[in-house]
Structure 1
Amino acid sequence: MPPLSQRPSPGQKERLSTDREESSIPMGGKFEGKNWVYPSEQMFFNAMRRKNWTPQEKDMGVVIPIHNAVNEQCWRQILLWEKLHQTSCAQPKLVKFQGKPKEYTPKARIRQLMGYTLPFDRHDWTVDRCGTTVEYVIDFYSGAQEGGEGKASFFLDVRPKMSVEGVVDRFRMWWSTGTGLW
Structure 2
Amino acid sequence: MGWFWATPTQPSSILSRYNPLNLIPVGLTNTPQQDQSQALPLTREESSIPRPDTGSNWEYPSPQQMYNAMLRKGYTDTDITAVESMVAVHNFLNEGAWAEIKEWESIFSPGLAHAWSICRRGEQGPKLVRFQGLPQTPSPKARVMSTLGTLLPNHFSADPPFDRHDWYVERTLPNGSKKQVRYVIDYYSGGEEADGEQVFFLDIRPALDTPTAAAERAMRWGGDLWWRASGGEAREKNRSQ
Instruction: Give the TM-score of the pair, scaled to structure 1.
Output: 0.89
Q: How does 1:19-98 map to 2 (within 5 A)?
A: 19-28=43-52, 30-31=53-54, 33-53=55-75, 54-87=77-110, 91-98=125-132
Structure-2 change in CA distance of 1:10 and 1:40 (3 Å): same
Q: After TM superposition, what 4+ stretches of structure 1 lie above 4 angstroms from structure 2?
A: none
Give the equivalent residue in structure 2 for 1:128.
170
Amino acid at match of 2:180: T
Question: In 1, Cα distance between the equivalents of 2:168 and 2:61?
Answer: 19
**Matched AA of 1:95:** V
Q: How many residues align?
A: 174
TM-score, normalisation: structure 2:
0.68
The answer to whether the 8 A contact 1:84-1:169 is kept is no
Contact 1:121 1:139 in 2 (8 A): yes
Contact 1:135 1:160 in 2 (8 A): yes
Greater C-alpha radius of gyration: 2
Segments of 5+ residues of structure 1 without an aligned counterpart are none
Paired residue for 1:139, among 163, 186, 194?
A: 186
Amino acid at match of 1:11: D
Equivalent residue of 2:38, what SS? coil
Query: Residue 164 of structure 2 aligns to a residue in which SS?
Result: strand
Deviation string 1:60-117 (CA, Å, 9 cap, x unpaired) is: 22111111110000001111111223437xx110011111111001111111112211
Distance of 1:177 and 1:66 partners within structure 2? 31
1:109 aligns with 2:131: no
The percentage of counterpart residues that share the same residue type is: 40
Give the 3 Å change call, closer, same or farther, for CA 14–129 of structure 1 in structure 2: same
